[in-house]
């Protein structure tokens, strides 16, 4: 009766007109169509996109071909036996899984395909551990296709291959691309500096790992009589550690490249050594400037970043080294604020002088009065050195 009626291209049976717009505007044909459709429980609005492959077939032919779930014969999963990383595509990925069953479920769900026409798809999976390296995944799928409920059960064996990932292989092989040397000018780095360097290195690597960078690791840290040596996996890490050290402590970096090898593509591979040279004086050091014209007294170092800055322990005035001197003006170290001795204030003489007890001889001595001196204090920290006796600021002044 209706001219618009279609026929199944495979079996030739007439197919009810499933087109929505035609259905509402072709009068008699509409009723016929709806009546026919009721048998299937199909609603016009749920009919799949007519462009979908195979949708021009009648119901019987469509379901004859229909494959609800597309499952592989087997899923092979490569995991790193050392760190648990999983090999995906062309690379190793950290998945953070506690056991291989979780990994296997995820890999299977990635490998399974469900027909595009299926709606309301749900699935359950039941892993069955067959042996140490085999897990059988029993998967049960449900969904709705052309308005009809469908279900399918598939079993996918998962084979787990335990290997060593690139990163763990490199770590095991003591691989490194860069060396960071922590040194100091005219002295040995102190524990505070080397401990901080290690902390910085660990933090940088942890941050890079957290962003999914699997190439970030520290191969070795070793203390030498000159300071600290660290072998790290990339030049970028070496550079970051060095920069952070200088940012915090001052000093300078020298880098030197060494050609180590050629990679598989014939590119030259360089190993970069970053030598961090920390400044000769540290905050808290008391130094005597070598400049003969300088008679303003010793300097308590406050900062060694950029030009050395400090406080004169005779007056409390600010001192800053010239640009040419930078962080290493010609000077001798007299002592450290940390090692200052607390001594008794005998009397305040005037705005320029104060009497304190010499901590060695217990004799009253007149010394210059810096502006940080608290006239109400009963005791003050002092440093006795070859430059004489000097009142230092209380450490809380820092």
Interaction between residue 59 and Zn ion (CB under 5 A):
no
392, 381 contact by CB (below 8 A) = yes
Q: How far is the CB of 201 from Zn ion (least distance, A)?
A: 20
Residue 146 near residue 42 (C-beta atoms within 8 A):
yes
> Of the ranges 63-71, 82-90, 107-115, 368-376, which one interacts with Zn ion (CB under 5 A)?
82-90
Tokens of 363: 């004799």
Binding status of residue 97 toward Zn ion by CB under 5 A: no
Q: Identify which of residues 93 and 269 has a Cβ nearer to Zn ion in the complex.
A: 93
8 lies in the site for Zn ion, by CB under 5 A: yes
Stretch that binds Zn ion, among 18-26, 110-118, 166-174, 318-326 (CB under 5 A): 166-174
**Is 82 a binder of Zn ion (CB under 5 A)?**
yes
Q: How far is the CB of 165 from Zn ion (least distance, A)?
A: 3
- 250 and 278 Cβ atoms separated by less than 8 Å: yes
Candidate segments 79-87, 95-103, 137-145, 308-316, binder of Zn ion by CB under 5 A:
79-87
The contact mask relative to Zn ion for 269-288 (x = CB under 5 A, - = no) is --------------------
Q: Binding segment for Zn ion among 58-66, 114-122, 236-244, 388-396 (CB under 5 A)?
A: 58-66
Q: Toward Zn ion, which CB reaches closer, 87 or 159?
A: 87
- By CB under 5 A, the count of residues binding Zn ion is 11
- Return the residue of 23, 29, 47, 58 that touches Zn ion, per CB under 5 A: 58
Q: What does the alpha-carbon distance between residue 34 and residue 17 come to, in Å, rounded to a whole number?
A: 9
**Token pair for residue 231?**
């072998």
Q: CB of 160: closest distance to Zn ion in angstroms?
A: 14
State yes or no: residue 321 binds Zn ion (CB under 5 A): no
Q: Is 172 helix (H, G, I), strand (E, B) or coil?
A: helix
Instruction: Spell 6-38 as b/e; 16+ CB within 10 A means b.
Output: eebeeeeeebbbbeeeebeebeebeebbeeebe
Nearest of 135, 130, 140, 75 to residue 108 by alpha carbon: 75
Among 10, 136, 271, 365, binds Zn ion (CB under 5 A): 10
Binding region for Zn ion (CB under 5 A) out of 57-65, 120-128, 139-147, 261-269: 57-65
| Nearest to Zn ion of 84, 326 (CB atom) | 84
Question: In the complex, what is the shortest distance from the CB of residue 171 to Zn ion, in angstroms, rounded to a whole number?
Answer: 8
Which region among 43-51, 61-69, 106-114, 315-323 touches Zn ion (by CB under 5 A)? 61-69
Query: Which of 159, 157, 121, 116 lies closest to 138 in space, CA to CA?
Result: 157
Closest to Zn ion by CB, 10 vs 309, is: 10
Phi-psi region of 237 (alpha: psi -120 to 50; beta: other; left: phi over 0): alpha
Cβ contacts of 12 within 8 Å, gap of 6 or more: none
Q: Which residues share a beta bridge with 289?
A: 331
CA gap 297, 310 in Å, rounded: 12
Give yes or no for residue 11 binding Zn ion (CB under 5 A).
yes
Residue whose entry in the numeric block shows the structure tokens 């600290």: 228
The residue (of 60 and 339) whose beta carbon lies closer to Zn ion is: 60
Q: Segment contacting Zn ion (CB under 5 A): 161-169, 201-209, 243-251, 299-307?
A: 161-169
Check if the beta carbon of residue 8 is closer than 8 Å to that of residue 56: yes
One of 30, 83, 187, 305 touching Zn ion (CB under 5 A): 83
Helix, strand or coil, per DSSP, at residue 296: coil
Q: Residue 123, Cα to own-chain centre: how many angstroms?
A: 35
234: Cα separation from own chain's centroid: 14
165 binds Zn ion (CB under 5 A): yes
Q: CA nearest 220: which of 183, 257, 178, 188?
A: 178
Contacting residues toward Zn ion, per CB under 5 A? 8, 10-11, 58, 61, 80, 82-83, 85, 165, 168
């Amino acid at each position: 009766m209706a001219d618009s009626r279609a026929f199944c291209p495979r079996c030739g049976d007439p197919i009810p007109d499933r087109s929505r717009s035609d259905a509402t505007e072709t009068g008699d044909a509409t009723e016929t169509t709806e009546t026919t459709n009721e048998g299937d429980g199909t609603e016009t609005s749920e009919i799949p996109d007519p462009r979908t492959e195979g949708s021009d077939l009648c119901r019987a032919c469509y379901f004859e071909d229909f494959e609800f779930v597309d499952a592989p014969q087997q899923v092979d999963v490569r995991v790193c036996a050392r760190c648990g990383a999983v090999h995906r595509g062309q690379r190793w990925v950290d998945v953070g899984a506690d056991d291989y069953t979780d990994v296997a479920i995820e890999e299977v769900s990635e490998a399974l395909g469900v027909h595009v026409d299926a709606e309301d798809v749900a699935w359950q999976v039941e892993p069955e551990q067959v042996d140490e390296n085999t897990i059988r995944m029993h998967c049960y799928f449900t969904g709705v296709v052309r308005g009809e409920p469908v279900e399918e059960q598939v079993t996918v064996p998962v084979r787990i291959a335990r290997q060593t990932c690139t990163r763990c292989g490199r770590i095991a092989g003591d691989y490194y691309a860069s060396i960071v040397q922590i040194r100091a000018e005219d002295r040995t780095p102190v524990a505070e500096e080397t401990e901080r360097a290690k902390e910085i290195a660990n933090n940088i690597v942890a941050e890079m790992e957290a962003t999914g960078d699997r190439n970030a690791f520290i191969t070795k840290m070793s203390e030498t009589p000159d300071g600290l040596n660290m072998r790290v996996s990339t030049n970028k890490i070496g550079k970051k550690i060095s920069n952070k050290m200088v940012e915090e402590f001052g000093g300078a970096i020298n880098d030197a490249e060494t050609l180590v090898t050629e990679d598989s593509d014939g590119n030259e591979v360089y190993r970069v050594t970053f030598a961090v040279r920390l400044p000769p004086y540290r905050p808290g050091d008391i130094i005597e400037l070598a400049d003969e014209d300088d008679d303003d007294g010793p300097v308590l170092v406050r900062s060694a970043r950029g030009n050395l800055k400090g406080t004169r322990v005779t007056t409390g005035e600010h001192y800053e080294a010239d640009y040419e001197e930078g962080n290493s003006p010609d000077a001798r170290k007299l002592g450290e604020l940390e090692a200052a001795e607390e001594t008794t204030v005998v009397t305040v003489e005037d705005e320029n002088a104060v009497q304190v007890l010499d901590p060695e001889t217990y004799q009253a001595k007149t010394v210059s009065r810096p502006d940080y001196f608290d006239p109400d204090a009963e005791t003050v920290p002092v440093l006795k050195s070859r430059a004489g006796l000097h009142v230092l600021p209380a450490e809380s002044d820092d």
